[in-house]
Structure 1
Amino acid sequence: MIRDIVKIDRELCNGCGNCITGCHEGALQLIDGKATLVSELMCDGLGACIGTCPVGAITIEKREAEAYDEVATIIEMIPNGKNVVTAHLQHLLDHNETEFLRQAFGYLRQNEQTIPFDVNEVIDSLKQKPKATMAPMHHHHAGGGCPGAAARSFAPKMASMETADSNQPSALTHWPVQLHLINPNAAHFRGANLLLAADCVAYALANFHAKHLQGKTLAIACPKLDSNKEVYVQKITALIDNAEVDTITVMRMEVPCCGGLVQMAQLARNNAQRNIPIKVVEVGIQGEILGAQWI
């Protein structure tokens, strides 16, 4: 089959690490000061990492890939050193890819005399990892999978009946709110404080309207599932330059794929004539605020 695969020019890479957060699938890691594709298995080929690279070290190459070949992947990684191979194997271990691990271990054992690092040390270091780090999910060879889609269950945090208000008013000031549908020239965006929220945020945060939407104009998007995301960058750029929004607050979920929303906001600001502050608020999947920072 023909697949789109990320390709990194290690000579150009300056080790800034911007692409790591831009990778939705966790396929990139910063190892020995260089961005490294630790698993082709996890690369979805969508190129979210490209726009975050300031030196143009990342490209997408389209090539024939009949089926994922773990042995070929290990052979390609060995010249990059022990740390790269270890990171790749840990990546497989974390996602329960036991068959690929078996193939990788088999090749390393059979060829350990010619491999320029201690194979036993690499394998033993993996065995020492706590079992809890292994995620209960399986990824298909071609399409990859999002770590944020892993099923998890937890008890809801119930609000006190004394403080709950079933008639709490909505803080929404306009419609539509989906980023594809909004008009950046609409009056309600002019000079406003824009809240750019991932679709899931309002469902995770019990006090979304009362605490986070008050005094802001809203636009929502999903950086993982929405199509034509280049239009999103254009619209956010128009909101900055034409509507002259005062600030942008990006509310994202903690899952890796949600980082794309932050990247789109940053790219739009880079493209815009005006420079405005962007605040990033990270929301946990159990409804807590994990952190906030201005970027």
Structure 2
Amino acid sequence: MAIRNIINIDEDKCNGCGNCVVDCAEAALQIVNGKAKLVKELYCDGLGACMGGCPTGALTIVQREADAFDEAATEAHGHAMKAKPEPCGCPSTRSVDFANKEVVGRGVSETRPELTNWPIQLKLIATEAPYLNNADLLMAADCAAFSTINFHSRFIKGRKVVIACPKLDDAQFYFDKLTEMFKVNSINSVTVVRMEVPCCGGLAYITKQAIQKSGKEIPYSEVVIGIKGDILSEGKTPLIPKLQAV
């Protein structure tokens, strides 16, 4: 070990938004139990690229005794993180498009469900699922559907649904998968529906970054829902400006 620059995370300040995970090219950070964690010291190059997107100032570079940065091990780790999971054969991973379904046994007081695809969890959706082509995509935070009324008719109708929670899951995996999904499919538009809590902003951040990384110009809009179920904001949102070559 030697004294070198390495990332330091103040867990009291960390809100688990996942921005740092997306910004870390070495995949040295992960969200664990709602907080950013350094996976291994040898994966951190100490340059601080992960700090720029942190909204709370939880990340700093410190000098301390740490394992030396290992470029070869970091590259192997990055490839492993990006590896696509093999289908397990479980019905939960089988792509199904049931846009032309018939509703039977529906009472007069019930609302017609608008969901037309399965699965909906980002971890389980195949990046080349047939129903993604020429789709208007709804990226919804896991909590959103439970927090506002008429979610099906207002947000799901006419869209293919993807749900995710970057605070509880691997934000880097989400970023890589969405980037590939946008690259290989003709997505007509993307609407993110998220909660007002800061960590939920990570879903919007990851989605916008993935659209840019894909090289596609996909119309993007965003809806923010309050924790009491009211809609705080809604409309088209510009993507983060692309970096200009120097």
Q: Report the identity percentage.
A: 39
CA distance in 2, matches of 1:234, 1:25: 18
Residue 241 of structure 1 is aligned with which of 178, 183, 205? 183
Residue 278 of structure 1 is aligned with which of 211, 220, 240? 220
Question: CA offsets, 1:202-237, max 9 Å, x none?
Answer: 0001110011110000000011111x3222112211
Q: Does 1:262 align with 2:173?
A: no
Distance 1:234 1:44, change over 3 A: closer
Query: Which residue matches 1:201?
Result: 144
CA distance in 2, matches of 1:60, 1:293: 37
- Amino acid paired to 1:193: D
Runs of 4+ in 1 over 3 A off after TM superposition: 43-53, 58-64
- Amino acid paired to 1:52: G
Worse overlay, 264-273 or 249-258: 264-273
- Are 2:224 and 2:231, in contact at CA under 8 Å, matched by a contact in 1? yes
- Map 1:13-52 → 2, pairs under 5 A: 24=15, 44-46=35-37, 50=51, 52=53
Greater Rg, structure 1 or structure 2? Answer: 1
- Map 1:225-240 → 2, pairs under 5 A: 225-226=168-169, 228-240=170-182
SS of equivalent residue, structure 1 residue 52: coil
Residue 169 of structure 1 is aligned with which of 107, 112, 119? 112
SS of equivalent residue, structure 2 residue 192: strand
CA distance in 1, matches of 2:180, 2:193: 20
Query: Which residue matches 2:164?
Result: 221
Indicate the RMSD between aligned Cα atoms, in angstroms.
Answer: 3.1
Residue 5 of structure 1 is aligned with which of 5, 8, 20? 8
CA distance in 1, matches of 2:213, 2:51: 15
More helix by share: 1
Distance 1:184 1:166, change over 3 A: farther
More strand by share: 2
TM-score (norm 1): 0.48
Pairwise CA distance, 1:166 = 3.8
SS of equivalent residue, structure 1 residue 263: helix
Q: Where do 5+ consecutive residues of structure 2 fail to align?
A: 1-5, 18-33, 39-48, 66-106, 239-246
Distance 1:59 1:267, change over 3 A: farther
CA distance in 2, matches of 1:180, 1:62: 37
Distance 1:178 1:61, change over 3 A: farther
Query: Which residue matches 1:120?
Result: none
Pairwise CA distance, 1:266 = 1.4
TM-score (norm 2): 0.56
Which has the bigger relative contact order, CA under 8 A and spacing at least 6? 2
Question: CA offsets, 1:174-201, max 9 Å, x none?
Answer: 1110000001211111010100000000
Distance 1:277 1:59, change over 3 A: farther
- Are 1:24 and 1:258, in contact at CA under 8 Å, matched by a contact in 2? no
- Are 2:16 and 2:36, in contact at CA under 8 Å, matched by a contact in 1? no
Task: Give the total of aligned pairs.
Answer: 158
Q: Where do 5+ consecutive residues of structure 1 fail to align?
A: 8-22, 27-42, 65-163
Question: CA offsets, 1:107-164, max 9 Å, x none?
Answer: xxxxxxxxxxxxxxxxxxxxxxxxxxxxxxxxxxxxxxxxxxxxxxxxxxxxxxxxx9
- Are 1:24 and 1:259, in contact at CA under 8 Å, matched by a contact in 2? no
